[in-house]
């Protein structure tokens, strides 16, 4: 083979190599710069239609993980939209309108239901007052935010337990409530079906007796709907992203805490 022919072959090889390198580099750059879509959740409300919300993991990553895990587990299917307060609507209670903590096995298939490793769980509150400064979402109309207990209304030193008591219930704001900024974990926003949210908000409510309220820590402010709309089905689109299992801790047992507190009090006065 002549030197000229060898030179031509090497030039062709070099061109092919450059094309391959260029293709790989283009793929890497394209992957690194492509827009990652935020997850979207669609709630089908029986008798009303669909409400779609976009989730914001960039503000409340673990809260979003938990929400997606619950949706994927079918947890919200059959739950109800319970009631309202002056600025929001409460979603995610059971059909009797009772507060319910999901168990760890609900969101983690590796945990055997009702085993020693299974328990009612909660997640840490991702908001500024709980030293989570990443969440700067403002509580404006249409924002989705986690419900949590406020045990400090009865016991002053239970701030940590209160801040880290969210699990599955959430609210959708029907008007701006910036006083909640930094105190509750906002994590999503309604992008379709806000008219349905407002239509439900406008339905009749009923007064709640102390017996009916039970251990509902928000009973003084929430008015239950006469007819609680049922969440028929919930789906989530994550656009190929696996958000995984959220970080959790065992749910705080407020009733047990009070029982032990009273025992200590009476034991000390004997």
Q: Which residue has the higher pLDDT, 122 or 20?
A: 122
- Cβ-based neighbours of 255, under 8 Å, separated by 6 or more: 215
Report pLDDT for 29.
Answer: 45
Q: pLDDT tens across 142-163, in order?
A: 999 999 999 999 899 999 999 9
Q: Is 197 exposed, middle or buried (0-12, 13-18, 19+ CB in 10 A)?
A: buried
Q: Is 139 exposed, middle or buried (0-12, 13-18, 19+ CB in 10 A)?
A: buried
Q: pLDDT tens across 92-146, in order?
A: 999 988 888 899 999 999 999 989 999 999 999 999 999 999 999 999 999 999 9
Cβ contact 190:197 at 8 Å:
yes
Q: Is the pLDDT of residue 32 over 50?
A: no
Q: pLDDT tens across 217-253, in order?
A: 455 589 999 999 999 999 999 999 999 999 999 999 9
Instruction: Please report which confidence band the pLDDT of residue 31 belongs to, taking 50, 70 and 90 as the band edges.
Output: very low
Q: Where do the structural domains in the chain lie, given as residue ranges?
A: 1-34, 40-257
Q: Rounded to 10 degrees, what is the CA torsion of 196, 136, 67, 44? A: 10
Main-chain dihedrals φ then ψ at residue 88, nearest 5 degrees:
-155, 170
Report pLDDT for 3.
Answer: 63
Q: Is the pLDDT of residue 189 over 70?
A: yes
Instruction: Please report which confidence band the pLDDT of residue 169 belongs to, taking 50, 70 and 90 as the band edges.
Output: very high
Please give the Cα distance from 147 to 126 (Å, whole number). Answer: 12
- What CATH number matches the domain at 40-257, 2.40.50.840, 3.40.50.300, 2.40.100.10, 2.60.260.20? 2.40.100.10
Please give the Cα distance from 2 to 92 (Å, whole number). Answer: 80
SS3 247: coil
């Amino acid at each position: 083979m002549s030197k000229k022919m060898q030179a031509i072959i090497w030039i062709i090889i070099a061109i092919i190599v450059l094309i391959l390198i260029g293709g790989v580099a283009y793929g890497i750059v394209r992957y690194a710069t492509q827009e990652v879509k935020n997850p979207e959740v669609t709630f089908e409300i029986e008798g009303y239609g669909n409400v779609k919300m976009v989730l914001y993991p960039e503000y409340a990553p673990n809260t979003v993980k938990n929400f997606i895990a619950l949706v994927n587990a079918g947890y919200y299917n059959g739950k109800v939209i319970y009631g309202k307060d002056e600025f929001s609507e409460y979603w995610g209670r059971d059909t009797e309108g009772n507060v319910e903590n999901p168990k760890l096995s609900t969101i983690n298939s590796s945990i055997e239901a009702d085993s020693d490793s299974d328990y009612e769980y909660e997640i840490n509150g991702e908001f500024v007052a709980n030293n989570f400064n990443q969440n700067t979402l403002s509580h404006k109309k249409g924002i989705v935010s986690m419900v949590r207990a406020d045990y400090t209304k009865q016991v002053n030193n239970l701030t940590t337990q209160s801040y880290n008591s969210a699990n599955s219930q959430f609210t959708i704001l029907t008007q701006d409530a910036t006083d909640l900024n930094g105190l509750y974990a906002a994590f999503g926003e309604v992008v379709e079906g806000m008219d349905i949210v407002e239509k439900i908000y406008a339905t009749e409510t009923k007064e709640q007796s102390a017996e009916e309220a039970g251990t509902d820590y928000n009973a003084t402010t929430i008015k239950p709907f006469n007819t609680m709309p049922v969440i028929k089905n919930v789906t989530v689109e994550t656009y190929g992203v696996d958000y995984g299992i959220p970080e959790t801790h065992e749910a705080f047992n407020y009733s047990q805490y009070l029982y032990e507190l009273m025992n200590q009090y009476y034991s000390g006065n004997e």
